Homo-oligomer: A and B are copies of this chain.
Amino acid sequence: MRETKDRSYHHGDLRHALIDTALNMLATDQNWTFTLREVARRTGVSHAAPYKHFRDREELLRELARIGFDQLAETMTRAMFSNGLTIRERFTTGAQACIDFAFRNPGLYRLMFSADADKTADPHLHDTAMRTFHVLLQLLEEGQRDGSFRPVPISGQAGACWAQVHGLAMLAISGQLLEEKVGKEPVSAALDVLLNGLCCNT
């Protein structure tokens, strides 16, 4: 992928190479139990090299989480702000995008919301996560302005939506949305219930 030049001693862009490797391992194993040494090994450097770029293992994990929030925000934005859709459609499209993202990157998604990606320990990470949340706020504001959504405090609706979508995503990637429990199309069914509570025209 990035193995173009077999670098001698100085790698050139080890930081990104390590991140790449770690993201791949995260995707493969669907967890972040990988060791820093293994990441170094697969990147072709000594086991101490990563410490020149990350204070410790957790700092790498936080960076991965940050990248995840960035990607998620972009994905959701693209989904929600495409033209020719009603507010309701844009909402479900955005929610689906989030859940799909989680489904395609379960390890990463889990990491993003885990305690190991401690947002209080990294303002940069915190900010990025916040920005992802704001994508949702934007849509809610728009929906209230044009009369689609009930005129109640945005914050309450935001909490409900965020919780609902995040909850669905987590349950989905944990394999807990089994048909026997929550039906065939659990996501759209659940989103319908929520939208009924959100929209004016029941």
Residues of A within 8 A of B (CB): 30-31, 110, 113-115, 119-120, 129-130, 133, 150, 152-153, 155-160, 162-168, 170-171, 174-177, 181-183, 185-187, 189-198, 202
Contact = CB atoms under 8 A, between A and B. Distances in A.
A175 B120 contact: yes
Contacts of A158: 181-182
A163 B167 contact: yes
A195 B163 CA distance: 14
Contacts of A191: 160
B175 A160 contact: no
A192 B133 contact: no
Contacts of A194: 160, 164, 193-194, 197
Contacts of A195: 197
A155 B160 CA distance: 19
Contacts of A160: 164, 189-191, 193-194
A138 B202 CA distance: 25
A182 B162 contact: yes
A170 B119 CA distance: 14
B183 A193 contact: no
26 contacts: A30-B115, A113-B174, A119-B174, A119-B175, A120-B175, A129-B176, A152-B189, A155-B183, A155-B186, A155-B189, A156-B186, A156-B193, A157-B193, A159-B182, A159-B183, A159-B189, A160-B164, A160-B190, A162-B167, A163-B163, A163-B190, A167-B167, A167-B170, A193-B194, A194-B197, A195-B197
